[in-house]
């Protein structure tokens, strides 16, 4: 509780002065001595009125104190906060082709990419996210949702080999764009991750990028894989799977052009640490807009103090004029 007019509280200093004055005046009054026939001197008998003689003065001083407090306008503050989050709609388009099983990332590119992407999802509070997977074709693994645990579960279920092999970058990007087609968000982002060259699908990657540009969608592209060769599982003519050093071919020029067209950036990740830093950088660049408005409201409390002060004044008059039967 605070006071709107705290300077008025200085008037409370009058109360102890009035108490001191009352005691001083009381001591100056003469004591009435009543003579008795049998025993010389004695005091007048003390009735209940004697014990209540100070009550009117006490009630008057209490009423005065309450009225002074009411004049000081006591109020109670209520702090309120209103938070508005303007989230971003983000689609993670992930390559799940056979080459993503290469082991230059541990345990391989696809598992490492899933883990790091899941950490990225965990930090995107207030955003809606979706998962698109592509290889020789593309499909939506998870619709746009703010349920981050559902998105992470969808990521965990991705694996290579569930659709025809190949690298359909154009189809993957087009499917991601389609997820954002009806989005009402002011900020729309696609993070496309691949380790190869576009060799499948019916949609040209640059045509898909042009559609994204016209829809105001930023497309961040990530090429994963170290330079040179990488140990990759391959199958021999007899059906046995072994590791072979396979050339890493990423169409960086295409990925860079896609990002440039849409006002975003291209990144190259040669190891898991670099990929983590890339997601961190995208996280910093694409932050949700958070507005916090603080409000303070005041509840006036003077009425309660005023009412009790008036009640005590009425009680003082009742005790003085009725109970103690004093004349004015």
Q: What is the CATH number of the domain that holds 164?
A: 3.40.50.410
Q: What confidence tier does 306 reach under pLDDT thresholds 50, 70, 90?
A: confident
Per-chain mean pLDDT for the chain: 85
pLDDT at 33: 44
Categorise residue 201: left if φ over 0, alpha if ψ from -120 to 50, beta otherwise.
left
> Do both 65 and 162 map to the same domain?
no
Is pLDDT above 50 for 30? Answer: no
246 within 8 A of 97, measured Cβ to Cβ: no
Average pLDDT on 264-282 reads 95
pLDDT at 2: 80
What does each C-alpha distance from 46 to 49, 51, 254, 292 come to in angstroms? 8, 8, 109, 69
Using alpha carbons, select from 158, 244, 254 the residue that is nearest to residue 197: 254
- Give the separation between CA 144 and CA 128, rounded to whole angstroms: 6
Kindly state whether residue 220 falls inside one of the protein's structural domains: yes
Q: Per residue in 78-117, is it b (16+ CB within 10 Å) or e — as a string? A: eeeeeeeeebbbbbbbbbbbbbbbbebbeebbbbbbbbbb
pLDDT in tens, 151-185: 999 999 999 999 999 999 999 999 999 999 988 88
- Give the separation between CA 246 and CA 297, rounded to whole angstroms: 68
pLDDT at 38: 47
> Poorest-confidence range of 16-30, 32-46, 128-142, 205-219?
32-46
Kindly state whether residue 240 falls inside one of the protein's structural domains: yes
> Do both 255 and 311 map to the same domain?
no
Average pLDDT on 265-274 reads 96
The tally of domains found in the chain comes to 2
> Do both 237 and 92 map to the same domain?
yes
Domain that holds residue 315: 2-78+299-323
What's the token pair of residue 131?
A: 């998962």
- Give the separation between CA 139 and CA 131, rounded to whole angstroms: 9
pLDDT at 310: 87
pLDDT at 85: 63
pLDDT at 40: 47
Kindly state whether residue 117 falls inside one of the protein's structural domains: yes
- Say whether the peptide bond before residue 107 is cis (omega within 30 degrees of 0): yes
Name the percent of the chain lying above pLDDT 70.
85
Which phi and psi angles does 167 have, rounded to 5°?
-135, 90
Order of all β-strands in the sheet with 138-145: 138-145, 128-134, 89-95, 188-194, 217-224, 266-269
Is pLDDT above 80 for 135? Answer: yes
């Amino acid at each position: 509780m605070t006071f709107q007019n705290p300077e008025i509280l200085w008037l409370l200093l009058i109360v102890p002065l009035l108490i001191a004055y009352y005691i001083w005046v009381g001591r100056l009054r003469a004591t009435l001595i009543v003579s008795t026939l049998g025993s010389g001197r004695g005091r007048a008998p003390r009735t209940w009125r004697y014990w209540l003689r100070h009550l009117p003065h006490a009630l008057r001083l209490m009423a005065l104190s309450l009225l002074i407090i009411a004049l000081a306008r006591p109020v109670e503050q209520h702090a309120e906060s209103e938070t508005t989050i303007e989230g971003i709609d983000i689609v993670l388009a992930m390559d799940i082709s056979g080459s993503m099983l290469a082991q230059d990332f541990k345990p391989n590119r696809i598992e490492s990419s899933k883990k790091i992407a899941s950490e990225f999802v965990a930090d995107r509070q207030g955003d809606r996210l979706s998962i698109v997977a592509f290889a020789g074709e593309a499909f939506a693994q998870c619709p746009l949702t703010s349920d981050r645990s559902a998105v992470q579960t969808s990521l965990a279920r991705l694996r290579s080999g569930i659709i025809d092999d190949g690298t359909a970058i154009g189809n993957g990007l087009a499917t991601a764009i389609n997820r954002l087609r009806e989005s009402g968000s002011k900020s729309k982002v696609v993070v496309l991750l691949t380790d190869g060259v576009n060799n499948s699908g019916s949609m040209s990657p640059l045509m898909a990028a042009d559609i994204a540009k016209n829809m105001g969608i930023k497309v961040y592209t990530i090429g994963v894989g170290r330079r040179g060769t990488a140990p990759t599982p391959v199958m021999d003519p007899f059906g046995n799977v072994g590791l072979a050093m396979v050339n890493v071919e990423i169409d960086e020029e295409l990925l860079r052009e896609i990002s440039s067209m849409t006002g975003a950036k291209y990144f190259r990740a040669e190891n898991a640490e670099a990929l983590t830093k890339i997601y961190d950088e995208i996280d910093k660049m694409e932050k949700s807009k958070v507005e916090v408005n603080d409000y303070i409201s005041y509840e006036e409390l003077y009425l309660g103090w005023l009412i009790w002060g008036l009640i005590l004044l009425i009680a003082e008059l009742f005790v003085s004029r009725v109970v103690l039967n004093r004349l004015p």
